[in-house]
Amino acid sequence: MSSKDRLLKVTFDEIYVNGYYATSVDKILKKAKMNKGSMYHFFKSKKELMLAVIDAHIFEYIDKKYGAILDTEGNYIDAMFEVLNNKESFNFTFGCRLNTLVQELSHQDKDFKVALEKVYTHFEGILEKVFLKAKANNEIEYEDIKGLAVFVVATIEGALSTAKKSQDGMHFETCMKQLKLFFESISKK
């Protein structure tokens, strides 16, 4: 792993657990075993470093986790629920990586808002493509596919926040069961 990649990963891990404002550059650099000169070689500020983390880690995480649904050879809705039912891929202690940052940063700074909104829009776009494929595959009957994607992302994020507040994955499971019931109601089968 390169020095820059190590710095991005440590920054992500520290901010995910402790928050952006509670995490000092010194703490990040100590964990990354780097000095300030090394950091400033790559990034002009903590904010620039955080924007790179959003792009490198958060965007990539969403893209990899949910984009894989598009590669299914079977039923797209079933593939989506396979991802959502994989409890080991979610953190019910710290919540969603994306939502945690949105809650802390998007109202504080326009650049953070834009970067995080870009990730949310990408997430919604992935699910919109999934639902368009599901509709073409005669899995669902629904007119407002874009609205459906926004609704499902909001449901996932809300379910993760509910689980986080209780520190209990059972709340997430309950929400996913309700989401599954909704999809059964729009199923063409």
pLDDT of residue 125: 98
Q: Tokens 């710290």 belong to which residue?
A: 94
- 43 sits in the region (left: phi over 0; alpha: psi -120 to 50; else beta) called beta
* pTM metric for this prediction: 0.91
pLDDT for 89-111, tens place per residue? 999 988 888 888 898 888 989 99
In the predicted structure, residue 129 carries a pLDDT above the cut 90:
yes
Q: At what angle do helices 46-53 and 3-18 cross, to 10 degrees?
A: 90
